[in-house]
Chain A
Amino acid sequence: MTVSTGVSPLPASRGGTPPPRRGMSRWRRRERMIALAAVAPALILALGFMVYPVAYAIFISFHKTNGLRFEFVGLGNYTKLLTDPLLYKVFGTNLLFLVSVPIVIFVALVCSVLLYERIRGWKFYRVLFFVPNVLSTAVIGLMFKTLFAYSGPVNALVVAFGGEPVDFFAGAGTAIFVIVLALVWSGFGYQSLILLSGLSSINPEVFEAAVLDGAGWWRRLWSITLPNIRRVVVLVSILNVLYTFTSLFGFIFVMTAGGPGYDTTTLDYLIYTLAFSSSRLGEGSALAVMVFLFIGGLTLLQLRFFRSADE
């Protein structure tokens, strides 16, 4: 049985206790080497393709480069970006996409409350609402682009009701409207699953007591259900806010390519445009670093808010 102590996380012999037999410690050292060797491939890949690139991105952001020659410009890329009105316009567009957050949460809440009643077939609906979550943003973006095309079904309906066909992707407002719809469609199933798990953790006795006190369904919804999942709703909101800053690329790429002009360009799409359409890799990296810092800061801020609201 002495052998089996090898798996315990900490050797008891490290402190003042007498050193173990020599054979034992060699065996233990071998064991630790095997463990390290098992972690090594994953660690090396993560260091090489994630940690190092982040450091390299910071390095690139201080240089003017086309990928071959690097010329140090200090904070030049950052000041250039921060004095460019385009950055503020693009950031404003990102903020516009935040309207999707309350919509997604509202739809997801409705969904989860309906699913929570667990009427017959609820599991089937749960899977069905999940369909958009297994699809690529490129697929969903093209679906909405096709549905809202000039000669597409939505316009056919508009015409059938006596309207003029709308060129949805020719104007900023209508294009953003369609992208927000796509965002809501793609996201609500997953969010309602999370909210549903929040609902399921409410003690059913509370509901029973409420019913005994004569509270109706709506009353229970407002006074028990919603207050009890407040925390989950806050968490879901945080996620959705982050999502609008990091995950719009696929939608923009296939639906509008950032246009018309820069009207639907978001921060993540601007990084791509700077780096790979105009070969301004330094500025692209500087923007990537700033976006990274921004969403990192935002996450910390929201988590802090979340924690203090918790107490």
Chain B
Amino acid sequence: MTTNHVGVPKRARLPIGVGLILIAITIVYPVLYLATAAFRTKADYLANPFGLPSEWTFQNFIVLWNNYDLGNALRNSVVVVVIGLVLQLGVAMLAGYALARLDVPGARGINATFVSVMLVPSQVLIIPIYLLLSRIGLVGSLEGLILVYVATGLPFAVFFMTAAFAGVDQNVLEAARVDGAGFWRTLLSVASPMAAPGIATLAVLQFLGMWNELLFAYILLPDNDLRLLTPALAQIGGRFTSDQPLVSAGLIVTALFPMLLLAFASRYVMSGLAASFGR
């Protein structure tokens, strides 16, 4: 409220509210539309694309699970994202803490390296990474993809953690050190809890990045039984667009986790995406 200016006169409040509601409808309506379509049969949907289902059915989800192995894709996605996140946050916290708080030899050069590779687009990396991984037999394995996700997200994650640890009160760290806390103890019991909001923000941000990634997941996991959720959905949508309720069901499953995250951790999502501005 502090920056609010002079005032929105009462009569201006109505058009502003109406404007916001109109924009909100363009976001909410398509999402709700597809969410209800997911619970309809194809015949019911084609008879009247608008309106509510004449009867609600889980058939589309059951078909996705049984015939398109979406449950398996969901499990693969969870495995890759959880392991990838834990590894990436761990490695980034170590590096960020050292760069922000310790005397790292060659710190300038190391920082410059991270910053300069941060903007390399994945289209440039995909061909060499595909060849490198296939040479060491990691194409078509979840491990390979996890490694790629951890590594390609690291430059930003290190940059972000460096900033987060730089914001921790130096005096507290000194006090811990005087009390005889070593490297691990200072990092884990003192510095990390103080940087917790930053760590949570980074976790949310990198979760979204990995969950939604398409190119690496599609190329590096060519086997159908190792598909992740997003590429699995992309394939279903590419092949079966005539069955719109089925595709809608897949869309809802894929979009559910990011939306829940936004609903329950909107603070971290928004501050994280604001910080990644210009990445």
State the A residues within 8 Å of B (CB): 1, 3-4, 6-11, 28, 31-32, 34-36, 38-39, 41-43, 45-54, 56-57, 60, 67, 107, 110-111, 114-115, 117-119, 121-122, 125-139, 141-143, 145-147, 149, 151-153, 156, 185, 189-190, 193-194, 197, 200, 204, 207-208, 211, 217, 235, 239, 246, 249-250, 253-254, 257, 268, 271-272, 275-276, 281, 284-285, 288-289, 291-292, 295-296, 299
Q: Is the CB of A32 within 8 A of B247?
A: no
Q: Is the CB of B238 within 8 A of A254?
A: yes
- Dominant SS among interface residues on chain B: helix
Q: Is the CB of B3 within 8 A of A50?
A: no
Q: Is the CB of A46 within 8 A of B24?
A: no
Q: What is the chain B residue whose CB lies nearest that of A236?
A: B277
Q: Is the CB of A138 within 8 A of B233?
A: yes
Q: Which of B11-19, B64-72, B194-202 contacts A (4 or more CB under 8 A)?
A: B11-19
Q: Is the CB of A207 within 8 A of B248?
A: no
Contact residues in B for A284 (Cβ distance below 8 Å): 127
Known pairs A3-B178, A39-B99, A41-B95. 13 more at Cβ < 8 A?
A: A28-B103, A49-B129, A50-B125, A53-B125, A53-B129, A110-B23, A114-B20, A131-B28, A133-B273, A141-B237, A143-B251, A204-B6, A288-B124
Instruction: Contacts A149-B244, A254-B234, A281-B127 given; indicate if A46 touches B151 (C-beta within 8 A).
Output: yes
Q: What is the chain B residue whose CB lies nearest that of A9?
A: B103
Residue of A6, A41, A45, A135 ringed by the most chain B CB atoms within 10 A: A45
- B4-40, CB under 8 A of A: which get 1 and which 0? 1111110011001101100110111011011001000
B53 close to chain A: CB less than 8 A? no
Tell me the complex Cα distance, A289–B274, Å: 29
Instruction: Contacts A3-B178, A7-B101, A35-B103 given; indicate if A119 touches B8 (C-beta within 8 A).
Output: yes
Instruction: Contacts A41-B94, A275-B127 given; indicate if A118 touches B4 (C-beta within 8 A).
Output: yes
* CB-contact partner of A47 in B102, B113, B233, B255, under 8 A: B113
Give residues of chain B (122-154) contacting chain A, Cβ–Cβ below 8 Å. 123-132, 134, 147-148, 150-152, 154
